[in-house]
Amino acid sequence: MRLIGILASGIISVIVFFELSANKFDDPNKDKLLVELVSVVLDRLHYDPKIIDDNFSKSVYDDYIKAIDPQKRFLLKSDIEKFDQYKLLIDDQIKSSSIDFFNLTYETLMSRVDEVESFYMDILDNPFDFNIDENLTTDFEQLDYALGLNDKISIWRKRLKLSTLDGFATKKIVQEEKDSLDDSEKELKSDIELEIESRNAILENLKDFFDFNDDLERKDWFSIYLNSIVNQFDPHTVYLAPQAKDVFDQNISGRFQGIGARLLKKNQQVEIAEIIIGGPVWRDKLLNVGDLILGVSQNPDEEAVDISIMKLSDAVDLIKGEKGTKVYLMVKRVDGGIEQVEITRDIVELEETYAKSSLIYQESKKYGFITLPSFYVDFNDYGQRNAASDIKKEILKLKNENVNGIIMDLRGNGGGSLKTAVDITGFFIDKGPVVQVKSIGGRKEVLKDTDPSVIWDGPLVILVNEFSASASEILAAALQDYNRAIIIGSKQTYGKGTVQNVLSLNQFISGNTYGELGFIKLTTDKFYRISGGSTQLEGVKSDIVLPNRYSYVDIGERDLENPLSWDQINSANYSPLNKQLYYDESLENSKNRISKNEFFNIINEQAKWVKEQQEDNIVSLNYDNYKMDMDNNKKESEKFKKIEDFKSNYKFEWLRDNRIMGDEIPDEIIERRNRWIDDLKKDLYVDEAVNILSDLSSFYLNRLSLQENN
């Protein structure tokens, strides 16, 4: 029997032939086939294949155990000791397509889950005493596994007590707030009643959890094991079971109906991983990346369902819904505050994902502001609307307005089409290389701008943050290497310098009797700046660093497990512009302004506090102490609300786009554009970008004047 693999992307084309012995396909165990198939495909087609040895085995072991029981709620220390015999044998099992280790862990885990199901109701039958002084650590990696059943029951009692305390405290605070606003006489619920309600809610949540768990099939757990192997190659290389591929396709289709956020489950916590451009969360600024969703309810007075114990797909099902309906999320903010957030579900407005521009007035000067949410393109027809053609039109509109400089906003832009990034770079430079791409086997290609025309040669500022990734980093890096723009924003961009391709595993075999085997998304290429350094991990470092709430928090590629390393190759043949002396003076002026700006200083203090909150992993199970911590957090976070008082002195005016608006501009678009302008006026980072552009344009005009006089 023959495995045949064909990988074709815009950069590489590889044909691979694999031979497997026929008896492998006579084995009815599909899991063994998947282990062998995935390991062979990765070895032949991954950009940086790994050596499958004892070190690899240990990493798979650690990640897999963490994945199946991240909070150490189910397995016992004796189970781990039993598993340890395989710590250095998984590499041998992969090579022989053995799944003995998986079988052992799966059977053990299922029995331990059943064990918890047999006693959790007994714990919740008894009221919790919130007057007792006891603590619980949420740093699960530092916790020990339970020594036996009694120890396990004790651990579960504390965790269920904390869940109940969360609900109890929320109910009590809401009741107190309503009472202070309502002078009418009414009967308030006692602490005993509130505790019973909260405990019963946790009981119902756990019943749901075990129902969900019962629906999980062996193949679902095996996917976790496979991904523990696959993820060793890099964090973006993933095995997608057939059902998971359907979800993946939906996520990249650009059409969402729900709240407009991508969720990630990490250590049994549901985290906001990305805000979808154009969705209700993005539009109304309701959530931030890094916020945790603790519970979900469908009306404001309903008990929130704890989603930490659910599968992520089930949690998503609770949150998403029809356009116009409301969902209520109990959210723990990045800074530690807990609040209920009301979100009206909607369909992502595709118009909001397109480039748009605004004029900025500063006395006698005018500047242009362009926001680009993503590098969008119709992959079936590049001649259709795409990011490059739209940016070109926005630049020409701004040139017609005789602007003195342009700001391009790439904050939160996660990338997209590589070709559009190359084309956009070409609008600001003479012809030349833009990015280098290295593929499997060491093949290198230099992607170039071949058009000698320059659409905008005036002052240029690029705004970035920690979530500017991939194509955003290529554009920013190229303009920085050419000395063509000043990059301002976070310390560095995201640092994703790799390309992935999705391949069906079925294409690698003939005579398959197992049906759909799933897919593998694997890394095949790596990006390098024209100066030679990779954008991987390092991203693009800003010329001017502006503090933000994530300044001291690890966010980006380097914070993921097993990222590919940074390296460099030879520089491409390019000619950077002479760095103008006024660049240094503009940068120095900006640094002085930032150091004296009270709002930036407050943001820096907020960032330090956020870091402290994330490192505080001890939670009190005493209500008075718990409430005191909540009050202190609320009091501390109130200090930072002064940031919301900022308002720019500059005047902003959006430019119309007849492709979207037509001759008659719909009221809905006018409302959205006006709201965008209001946001720009309150954007401290845009304000400083204008200040920098003002300096650059003054120096630039003086230079032109000198040239004309000479």
How confident is the model over 370-411, as pLDDT tens digits?
Answer: 999 999 887 666 667 889 999 999 999 999 999 999 999 999
Between CA 312 and CA 318, with CA 316 as vertex, the angle to 5 degrees is: 120
* Residue range 110-124, pLDDT digits in tens: 999 999 999 999 999
**What confidence tier does 663 reach under pLDDT thresholds 50, 70, 90?**
low
Cα–Cα distance measured from residue 495 to residue 541, given in angstroms and rounded to the nearest whole number: 10
| Secondary structure in 3-state letters for 188-251 | CCCHHHHHHHHHHHHHHHHHHHHHHHHHCCHHHHHHHHHHHHHCCCCCCCEEECHHHHHHHHHH
**CATH architecture label of 350-509+524-581+647-709:** Alpha-Beta Complex (3.90)
Cα–Cα distance measured from residue 599 to residue 684, given in angstroms and rounded to the nearest whole number: 8
- What is the reported pLDDT for 8? 30
The string over 355-370, giving b where at least 16 C-beta atoms fall within 10 Å of a residue's C-beta and e elsewhere, is: bbbbbbebeebbbbbb
What residue ranges do the domains of the chain occupy?
50-232, 256-347, 350-509+524-581+647-709
The number of beta carbons lying within 10 Å of the beta carbon of residue 444 is: 13
Least confident piece of the model among 314-318, 467-471, 577-581: 577-581
- pTM comes to 0.81
- For the chain, state the CA radius of gyration: 28
CATH code for the part of the protein at 256-347? 2.30.42.10
* Residue range 496-555, pLDDT digits in tens: 999 898 898 988 887 766 778 889 999 999 999 999 999 999 999 999 999 998 898 888
Secondary structure of residue 18 in the 3-state scheme = strand
Burial class (CB in 10 A: 0-12, 13-18, 19+), 709: exposed
* Residue range 412-432, pLDDT digits in tens: 999 988 999 999 999 999 999
Highest mean pLDDT among 452-466, 608-622, 669-683: 452-466
* Residue range 16-36, pLDDT digits in tens: 434 443 334 334 478 888 999
Comparing 256-347 with 350-509+524-581+647-709, is the CATH topology the same? no
Residue 499 sits at φ, ψ, to 5 deg, of: -120, 140
Q: Contact 334/288 with Cβ under 8 angstroms?
A: yes
* Residue range 442-459, pLDDT digits in tens: 899 999 999 999 999 999
Q: Is the pLDDT of residue 573 over 90?
A: yes
